[in-house]
Chain A
Amino acid sequence: MGPLVANEIISPDTNLFLAFLIGIGFGFVLESNGFSSSRRLAGMFYGYDTTVLKVFFTAAITGMLGLLFMSLFGWIDLSLIYINPTYLWSAIGGGVIMGVGFILGGYCPGTSFCAASIGKLDALAFIGGIFLGVLLFTEAYPLWENFFNAKYLGSPLLSSVLGLSRGVMTLLIILVALGMFWVGEWAEKRFARDDYKLNQK
């Protein structure tokens, strides 16, 4: 009965070890799909490569279906799953900063380490930026403490806000995601670049 750590079926140390193995697998898949190319990530913004959208929404759909089916079979207790609490202004502010960094740097935090591991210097610069940001945030924390903690909403779920069951919400998100994939592939053709061939397999 999951979650394995919360129910003390495996120890936190074993959990870390499993996370390490999964992390290696995650990095391997990212790298082998070209996610260590900053052009692939920036392409999301310009529309010539929407792989990022497709990968992350496919992951979300897989995760949603997996959790709901495992809950249905009694393999996992969904009430013990950690749900990131919502601080509305932090989420919006953080989203804007992350998005700008994404376009400017061409990496997200995960893929920057992926790219650094194959020796890309711009990824190293990006990681330097991450640490600079962490330092700035923590050292000047009193300045944005109020903003950081403002508009705390608990852990609302889209399904409960809209008054739908989790299953119906999942079906809706699947349909929306497939629609977005279709728009994404249309955009890839519309905004295709002659010098960019990564997504033309």
Chain B
Amino acid sequence: MKGRLILAAVVIPLGIIIAAVPENTTKPYKLTAEELLSEVKEGTQFMTPDAVAQLMVEKDPSLQLIDVRSSHEFEKFSLPGAINIPLENLLSAEYEDILNQDVKVNVFYSNSSNVANQAWMITRQLGYQNNYVLEGGLNYWAETIMNPQKPAATSPNEEMARYNFRQGASAALGGASVEQAAAPESKAAAVPAVKAQKKKKSVQGGC
């Protein structure tokens, strides 16, 4: 009898408090500022336009281009196969499965790298993996892939190879046509591998 009164005196006030306070729905950041800074310094989030173009030409199913500009800009021009997630909608629940996954390589792009980098930084701090940023954004993309400049005849072979690859990619992806320059086979640009994600499910239990 007395025990029940003590129990009630403890749990009812606690229950009233917890009923009165708002629920804590904040999502914790998974990376510390230092960890993020070191990743930013190394620039591991960047994918060069060549690497992205390579995946696009090969029609690699693991590539997912994500346009983080406004939907208005997205409708005017977007890269083939890209989906539109405007930066302000980045945290909406409908996109969580796209951003937090371990089967695709997500590449954010905007006009320059700035907005895409912001998107990457937010998702990275939430602990999401496999998100990257198109280096230089659409501006640099147009410069390098869509309208590659023919290197000087004295340029090293790698330069020529890169030019050839860009020309091919440009033709395949609908850029301006440019004349061919003789050079050896191009080497494949470095493409990051998809990192498997540890399933964040706690252990089951029972009575």
Contacts and interface: CB of A to CB of B under 8 A. Distances in A.
Nearest to A110: B207
B1 to A, nearest CB: 7
Interface stretch (A119-127, A133-141, A144-152, A165-173): A165-173
Interface in A1-19: 1, 3, 5-8, 12, 15
B204 A82 contact: yes
Interface stretch (B23-31, B42-50, B112-120, B151-159): B23-31
A93 B41 CA distance: 58
Given A65-B15, A74-B26, A82 B4 contact: no
A163 to B, nearest CB: 14
Given A82-B203, A178-B12, A77 B18 contact: no
A174 interface: yes
Given A58-B7, A165-B23, A178-B7, A1 B28 contact: yes
A79 B28 CA distance: 11
B123 to A, nearest CB: 16
B20 A109 contact: no
A72 interface: yes
A42 interface: no
A5 B23 contact: no
Q: Is the interface of B mostly helix, strand, loop or mixed?
A: loop
Interface residues of B, number: 28
Contacts of B33: none
A175 interface: yes
Contacts of A168: 19
A80 B203 CA distance: 10
A11 B169 CA distance: 47
A81 interface: yes
B172 interface: no
Interface in A61-96: 61, 65, 68-69, 71-72, 74, 77, 79-82, 84
B16 interface: yes
B19 A182 contact: no
B204 A3 contact: no
A115 interface: no
A1 B30 CA distance: 10
Nearest to B202: A82
A185 interface: yes
B200 A6 contact: yes
B126 to A, nearest CB: 11
A6 B18 contact: no
A108 B207 contact: yes
A65 to B, nearest CB: 5
B106 to A, nearest CB: 21
Contacts of A1: 28
A71 B24 contact: yes
B201 A74 contact: no
A166 B15 contact: no
B8 interface: yes
B21 interface: yes
Nearest to A74: B24
Nearest to B26: A74
Contacts of A74: 24, 26, 28
B14 interface: yes
Given A8-B198, A68-B18, 5 more contacts: A69-B18, A84-B206, A108-B207, A165-B23, A174-B11
